[in-house]
Structure 1
């Protein structure tokens, strides 16, 4: 079967066989076979192509690495584990926001703690003007999933929905100015995800606890690792099914 992931990644970034061949030092026919016959390039070629299309090697060639190697790389993707979200130092949040150059993606139900930063809107607007793609996924305040989570946290059936509406009002200026794309989702949210380029904070959700009191994984994407990519694909799946908010 053809390597559709490689084909689509090259098309998305505007690369043809000749350009890839020149970058990797091979014949264009070899590049064509990598795609049409799903041939696996040598490691040095995989690294070069992954850098060109800004994708992970394990995404483009899932079977290229030995299981033991992938396991070790995945372990190394975990930078830090925090027992609670409120344990994550503010310096970490500030650093991740500041260093983002390509992508800021946030998946929450409400994420009201973000609104405690009075300069956040201004910061995100400046990031967007510098070319950072900003995607915000909030819960649908009218959904059963948001109501259920509100009850599970012990804060009352309608409390979380009200928080979502407040968060939507807070972030609306970004959407109005085309500085961010905002969507609402109806998924059962197992984790909140905060992605900043190749780093990510994953706030796990625990039944009976508010998100602030649940653990957080700080992940850094590594070539050949699976952990970061798993959460990145999860975000994309929710994004694809989400709808624009009803302002």
Structure 2
């Protein structure tokens, strides 16, 4: 775990790296469904809210966008230009039990492009997220 991850990402955004962080909307029915499937006892929405509250400098860093989506969370995708890590969500497994797949873009076709397209489609439905200074996170 990187306790200063938000500061590292903010520094990248300040030097020109485009950063987009998409989170499942903690109020979304799909989040509660995932919570039940992973047998998390109703804690997943709070875990998402906690992650959002830890954004620190990312919330107001130029070049960094944060948004919430309501798409069903079948996997998590972390994309870095021509590389990505995909963690497919397995039935009745918790997050740390999901495998991590390392993918590289080798052509304009294939599994990398399929996941990249999925990210773009979900991002296109996402709602910008902003932190209100005196009241905490809001959607």
Unpaired runs of 5+ residues, structure 2, are: 130-137
Query: 2:132 aligns to what?
Result: none
Q: Is the 8 A contact 1:191 1:205 kept in 2?
A: yes
For 1:216 and 1:208, how far apart are their aligned partners in 2? 16
**Superposed counterparts of 1:53-202, under 5 Å:** 116-157=1-42, 159-202=43-86
Q: Normalising by structure 2, what TM-score?
A: 0.88
Whether 1:225 and 2:109 are equivalent positions in the alignment is yes
Q: Once superposed, which parts of structure 1, at least 4 consecutive aligned residues long, lie more than 3 Å away?
A: none
Is residue 193–residue 203 contact of structure 1 (8 Å, CA) maintained in 2?
yes
Q: Shift in Å at residue 224 of structure 1?
A: 4.2
Does the residue aligned with 1:208 lie in a helix, a strand or coil?
coil
Deviation, 1:223, is 2.3
Q: Is it true that 1:242 corresponds to 2:121 in the alignment? A: no
Structure number with greater Rg is 1
The count of residues paired between Structure 1 and Structure 2 equals 131
On the 8 A contact 1:204/1:211 being kept in 2, the answer is: no
What RMSD over aligned residues (CA atoms) do the two structures have, in Å? 1.4
Distance 1:170 1:127 in 2: 17
Q: Which has the higher strand share?
A: 2
Contiguous gaps of at least 5 residues in structure 1: 1-115
Q: Aligned partners of 2:63 and 2:4: how far apart in 1?
A: 15
> 2:135 corresponds to which residue?
none
